[in-house]
Amino acid sequence: AQSVTQLGSHVSVSEGALVLLRCNYSSSVPPYLFWYVQYPNQGLQLLLKYTSAATLVKGINGFEAEFKKSETSFHLTKPSAHMSDAAEYFCAVSEITGRRALTFGSGTRLQVQP
């Protein structure tokens, strides 16, 4: 079975600082990987996706993630944090066959300090 581990349930950065949110996956073969953002009392918004093309993936709002097969990681980064980035971030892995259901990590809450 696939699984996702997000290290750090809470991450706090200063405005303008680098954002690094960690995600490691477990899968017998390279899966599809996703990052979603959830603002309070809202649904999930797709930030970016890895679907076996380029290993460095650029998403919306200046975020990017790098797929590293050797490390089974898909960490999310942003060079300079903005106050509006404060939210909950979820990493997800997709089944590679069949229904393609998403398995989510437990989430990382990002706080941005002024």
Partner 1 sequence: ETGVTQSPTHLIKTRGQQVTLRCSSQSGHNTVSWYQQALGQGPQFIFQYYREEENGRGNFPPRFSGLQFPNYSSELNVNALELDDSALYLCASSLGQFGSAKTSEQYFGPGTRLTVT
Any contact of residue 40 with partner 1 (CB under 8 A)? no
Residues 6+ apart with CB under 8 A from 41: none
Among 49, 59, 66, 72, binds partner 1 (CB under 8 A): 49
Among 25, 36, 63, 74, binds partner 1 (CB under 8 A): 36
Any contact of residue 97 with partner 1 (CB under 8 A)? yes
Among 12, 26, 45, 113, binds partner 1 (CB under 8 A): 45
Positions in 1-20 near partner 1 (CB under 8 A): 4
Give yes or no for a contact between 103 and 3, defined as CB atoms under 8 angstroms apart.
Answer: yes
Phi and psi of 98, rounded to 5°?
A: 65, -130
Any contact of residue 111 with partner 1 (CB under 8 A)? no
Output DSSP code: residue 85.
Answer: G
68-97 burial code (b ≥16 CB/10 A, e <16): eeeeebbbbebeebeeebbbbbbbbbbeee
Residue 104 CB, nearest distance to partner 1 (Å)?
3
Residues found near partner 1 in the complex (CB under 8 A): 4, 32, 34, 36, 41-46, 49, 51, 90, 92, 94-95, 97-107
